[in-house]
Structure 1
Amino acid sequence: MGERTPCVYILASRRNGTLYIGVTSDLPARIWQHKHDLVAGFTQRHRVHVLVWYEPHPTMESAIRREKALKEWKRAWKLRLIESANPQWRDLYPEIA
């Protein structure tokens, strides 16, 4: 994946733990920032640092639309989305770094 690919991503504190949905144009850099607590706010306060799902998009506009849609989803739907692609809830960061 190119470094400047728009992506929607989900971070988790642990399996079935607290979830965070975000969007970025530079996934490796953004996840590194989350993991090192350089992003003040929710992920820092709740220790949400494990990349469990991401989805590349052709444009930032489509990524933002998808992020907003996912944030409206029921929690059970988000868990199914994660588990369909990552049933072990592995940290995917090493694959993109």
Structure 2
Amino acid sequence: MNHNYFTYITTNKSRKVLYTGMTNDLRTRLEQHKEDAMGAKKTFAGKYNCYYLVFWERHQYVNYAIEREHEIKGWKRFKKVALINEFNPEWRFLNDEVD
């Protein structure tokens, strides 16, 4: 059985703030981040308008996605930026490319 879990990084429009998360439904999670940013701002991603996807990885097992999320969250910003630059050098917003 194939499972899909995602570790991802979002940013705000000015690309100043980074948010790292994990989910099993990336499209829905991005919509939730955007809804929170436009409304109640209950989460970090909502408060800082971090709903623009700039990096993502797919994992078959949930524990791999969780471990990777924790690993990336522990990094300093420069290391996260290097990861994004390797994956998405133009820092394009990838929300519309998620299937």
Fold-level similarity (TM above 0.5): yes
Match of 1:23 in 2: 22
SS in structure 1 of the partner of residue 20 of structure 2: strand
**Count of residue correspondences:** 95
Is contact 1:13-1:46 (8 Å) kept?
Answer: yes
Q: Which amino acid aligns with 1:91?
A: F
Match of 2:67 in 1: 65
Is contact 1:5-1:27 (8 Å) kept?
Answer: no
Equivalent residues in 2 for 1:1-97, closer than 5 Å: 5-14=4-13, 16-37=15-36, 40-97=42-99
**Identity score, percent:** 37
- Alignment partners' CA distance in 1, 2:67 and 2:9: 15
TM normalised by structure 2 equals 0.87
Q: Which runs of 4+ in 1 moved over 6 A?
A: none
Deviation of the 1:16 alpha carbon: 4.1
Q: Which amino acid aligns with 1:87?
A: P
Is contact 1:11-1:52 (8 Å) kept?
Answer: yes
SS in structure 1 of the partner of residue 80 of structure 2: helix
Deviation of the 1:13 alpha carbon: 0.9
Structure 1 residues 10 and 79 mapped into 2: Cα distance closer, same or farther (>3 Å)? same
Which blocks of at least 5 consecutive residues in structure 2 are unaligned? Answer: none
SS in structure 1 of the partner of residue 65 of structure 2: helix
SS in structure 2 of the partner of residue 84 of structure 1: helix
